[in-house]
Amino acid sequence: MGFFDKLKKTWQDNILWEKMDDAFYEDLTDALIMADVGAELSEDVVRQLQNVAYVKRLRTEEDIKGALRQALAQRLAVGPTALNLSTQPSVVLFIGVNGVGKTTSIGKIAHVLKEQGKKVLLCAGDTFRAAAADQLEIWANRAGVDIVRQHEGADPGAVLFDALQSAKAKNVDVVLVDTAGRLHNKQNLMNELAKMRKIIDRECPDAAKETLLVLDATTGQNGLIQARQFKETAGLTGIVLTKLDGTAKGGIVFAIAQELGVPVKFAGMGEGIDDLQPFDAKAFTEAMV
Ligand SMILES: Nc1nc2c(ncn2[C@@H]2O[C@H](COP(=O)(O)OP(=O)(O)OP(=O)(O)O)[C@@H](O)[C@H]2O)c(=O)[nH]1
Ligand SMILES: [Mg+2]
């Protein structure tokens, strides 16, 4: 019998709160750890839940689940989940390790912004692979937005500079900047990101700026290590959590919210253009519990 079946049976047998023993809470802690919430944080959340359950004398399945949802959602409320796009142009830089879904997320977000009537420009800052700019261009066409690109091997800073000049000249609302995937422990590649940040600051000093770390939800606790490094190098204003369609995990966002204070802003749920949602902490914890 699975954990939640067991839980259900316990409640169905109408066993009252007094009998919710340590084993019950240990099972719950284990279930959270399995979902990648992290050991320390899982214990902390369950301790909080135990206190709430005791003080409020919670007895039913619904009550306890509700309290758990609330305890989890609280941990995610560390900052604004909407993008700050208050200036023209606004600039959003997408960073992360290889293959997490940066380019795909840019395509999806470009589509959403375009639908909202915004003028969007994509910047092909991944000049590392020959196909990278082509891939971004396919997304630009799908979303019906413009792109600035250069040849393979070009300096990403130069492409970025071009895109920002073009954005200013053409009254673009939002520039979405793609970057090459890189390992968080490759210092020279990380420095390149810091340089890109500086170019944005220099060329658009008054612009609303976001730096979004794209994280694959299936990565597990390694995501926290990545987030720490990227935050240190480039600063982070938010997380795009991708591939949630392929996993029951994603608990890593709690650790990131707690330790780094960075909110999740978008959730990727598939490979299609419509498979992206603004992150909703309530819905996320509801799905989890
Ligand atoms: N199932 C699923 N697949 C996704 C999602 N987001 C991206 N992908 C897939 O993940 C793969 C990598 O996506 P990319 O957007 O190319 O990732 P990237 O971070 O730009 O990769 P690099 O530029 O090589 O570092 C592609 O096959 C995407 O279709 C998602 O939310 N769900
Ligand atoms: Mg890419």
Do 187 and 252 belong together in one domain?
Answer: yes
Rounded distance from Cα 193 to ligand 2 centre (Å):
15
Residue 282: per-residue pLDDT: 85
Q: Tell me which of 53, 76, 99 is where a domain ends.
A: 76
Average pLDDT, the chain: 89
CATH number at residue 196: 3.40.50.300
pTM, 2 dp: 0.89
**Are 41 and 181 found together in one domain?**
no
The Cα 80–Cα 278 span in angstroms is 11
Tell me how far the alpha carbon of residue 206 lies from the centroid of ligand 1, in angstroms: 32
Instruction: Report pLDDT for 15.
Output: 39
User: Which ranges in 84-178 belong to alpha helices (H)?
Assistant: 102-115, 130-143, 156-169
pLDDT, tens only, 59-69: 887 888 899 99
Tell me the CA end-to-end span of the chain in Å, nearest whole number.
18
pLDDT recorded at residue 1: 52
Q: Are residues 65 and 108 in the same domain?
A: no
Domain termination residue (choose one: 76, 98, 116): 76
Residue 166: pLDDT band by 50, 70, 90 thresholds?
Answer: very high
Q: Check residue 112 and give its pLDDT.
A: 97
**57 shares a domain with 168:** no
pLDDT at 60: 81
Of residues 241 and 250, more confidently modeled: 241
Residue 97 CA: nearest ligand 1 atom is 25
CB of 101 closer than 6 angstroms to any ligand 1 atom: yes
Structural contact between residues 275 and 269, judged by C-beta atoms closer than 8 angstroms: yes
pLDDT at 16: 42
* pLDDT of 219 above 60: yes
Beta bridge partners of 93: 177, 211
Q: Which of the ligands is closest to the CA of residue 217?
A: 1
Indicate whether residue 269 lines ligand 1 (CB < 6 A). yes
20-24, 57-61, 283-287: the lowest-pLDDT one:
20-24
Asked if 120 and 173 touch (Cβ cutoff 8 Å), the reply is yes
The last residue of one of the domains, among 13, 41, 76, is 76
186, 249, 261: which is closest to 219 by C-alpha? 249
Same domain? For 143 and 275 the reply is yes
- Summarised one tens digit per residue, pLDDT across range 129-156 is 889 999 999 999 999 999 999 999 999 9
